[in-house]
Structure 1
Amino acid sequence: MARQRKRKGDPVTGWLNLFKPVDMTSTQAVAILKRRYNAAKVGHGGTLDPLADGILPIAFGEATKTVQWAMDAEKEYVFTIRWGISTASQDAEGEATATSDARPTRDEVEDVLRNYVGTIEQVPPKYSAIKVDGQRAYDLAREGEDFELKPREVDVFEAAVIGMPDPDHTVIHVTSGKGFYVRAMARDLAFDLGCEG
């Protein structure tokens, strides 16, 4: 009879709501907490981009069996769109690919944003962790590979403009289901408003 290999670390169990800072990946957050608590098993209940800060639910031990419920839960985002510049990765880190002098008014953004509430089709960003033929999309994008990602249905329960500090920036609040990409919404809004460059 084969012996079961003993997992290294302590049998820590439970959930922790981590405030993930900017410039940390979700995977790095898990690794740090695994070391910090000498935990045998650790996972996270959703992925936040490295440039995003916010609550990242971390599961330890037996709680990792319930991660799927966290993944399926409602998500809430507050993000700022900078109009007039498009980047390869659709975030502030990417190389600029186009610019535009067009700037939407608050009324224009609010009007178009109404089309994004409900079950919508969204094409994920190429710089995402989605697998394409067994490889991460962001790896293929960094290697300059030509590929397309298929649209996916995502649920957006609420989307509202909550601030416009200047003509270049709009702050938006979204409540959504799983699989929603903030960067994809920013990209699509810019396209619909003629500001994508």
Structure 2
Amino acid sequence: MARRKKGIKVDGWLVIDKPLGITSSGVVGKVKFLTKAQKVGHGGTLDPLASGILPIGLGEATKTMPFIVDASKEYAFTVKFGTATDSDDLEGEIIESGGRIPEEAEILEVLPRFTGSIEQIPPAYSAIKVDGQRAYKLARDGELVELKARRVEIQELSLTSFDADQGEAAFHVTCGKGTYVRSLARDIARAVDSCGHVVQLRRLRVGPFSLKDAISLEKLEELGHSAPAQDYVSPITTALDDIPAVAVTDEEAKRIRCGMTLLRPEIKQGTLVLMDGDVPLAVAENTHGTIRSLRVFNM
């Protein structure tokens, strides 16, 4: 006899407006406690010193997690010029100070260098693995961490305000997966012959999820298991909005649930969402007319 899963069966996406000072894993733990959901996971780490959008997958929505992790993101961030830290944010120790405060015109002049496809070296304090160990653990142990440059995509980068007296500039960025805002801030400062670090970071959007969809942990705790709390849970398919949906027959649905393939040569190749009526059945891949399931939902 199969072991019965603990918790309540809840399937969908809950978008949390993460406060400062808590880890993404900490948010997952709180959501799991408050919702009693059987399975909970987050769609992309947000540092403790950052706030904003943290998509939380509940139940079967966790199977769509890769599509959220790989989605484009928007951030608002503030850079303090003249001082650098070993973590490129407020949390680290100062490693350079006394740098010059650039003019606003200088900042605007270098921004085009950081749009499009660019190479970026991740911060030493990052979750990237080096010889099987997380870079941030090695850095905390005092080891010199040398990470290779990676290509990332910056769709849009703009200066939103500049305070010369404070030596701070605020930016808005839209970027692809794998982009480190801390590295972007560090490199902008270097480009204007200074140094700098992030003093404020807020994530405004992840894929289809924005602040208008979000709920705070305090509000979630207040609502508990009441009906209004369900209003904040988005369908599983929200994470799959950009993927073509294909309706299947009852017989085809049975085949997919049994791990079998479908022959549909008339359908365009690529990733698909198979729909059994109004219910998502699976994420699948169509290769030369043969459809194979990648993730099957137990709805």
Q: TM-score, normalised by structure 1?
A: 0.94
Partner AA of 1:140 in structure 2: L
Deviations, residues 147-193 of structure 1 (Å, cap 9, x unaligned): 31111111000000000133410001000011111100111111111
Q: Which residue of 2 aligns with 1:56?
A: 54
Alpha-carbon distance in structure 1 between the residues aligned to 2:3 and 2:187: 49
Verify the 8 A CA contact 2:80 2:168 in the aligned structure 1. yes
Alpha-carbon distance in structure 2 between the residues aligned to 1:127 and 1:7: 37
Structure 1 range deviating more: 99-108 or 56-65: 99-108
Q: Note the residue ranges of structure 1 that are not aligned, 5 or more in a row.
A: none
4+ runs of 1 displaced by more than 3 Å?
Answer: 3-7
Q: Which residue of 1 aligns with 2:44?
A: 46
Q: Note the residue ranges of structure 2 that are not aligned, 5 or more in a row.
A: 197-299
Shift of 1:135: 1.4
Query: Within 5 A, what are the aligned runs for 1:100-115?
Result: 100-115=98-113
Q: 1:144 aligned to 128, 142, 155, which one?
A: 142
Shift of 1:4: 4.7
Quick one: structure 1 residues 86 and 13, their matched pair in 2 at CA, closer, same or farther if it must change by over 3 Å?
same
Partner AA of 2:20 in structure 1: V
Alpha-carbon distance in structure 2 between the residues aligned to 1:169 and 1:18: 28
Identical pairs, percent: 50
Alpha-carbon distance in structure 2 between the residues aligned to 1:88 and 1:7: 44
Shift of 1:38: 1.1
Q: Which residue of 2 aligns with 1:74?
A: 72
Partner AA of 1:48 in structure 2: L
Q: TM-score, normalised by structure 2?
A: 0.63
Query: Within 5 A, what are the aligned runs for 1:83-102?
Result: 83-102=81-100
Q: Which residue of 2 aligns with 1:191?
A: 190
Alpha-carbon distance in structure 1 between the residues aligned to 2:119 and 2:83: 24
1:188 aligns to what SS in structure 2? helix
Q: Which residue of 2 aligns with 1:173?
A: 172
Q: Is 1:129 paired with 2:146?
A: no
Q: Is 1:120 paired with 2:118?
A: yes
- CA RMSD in angstroms comes to 1.4
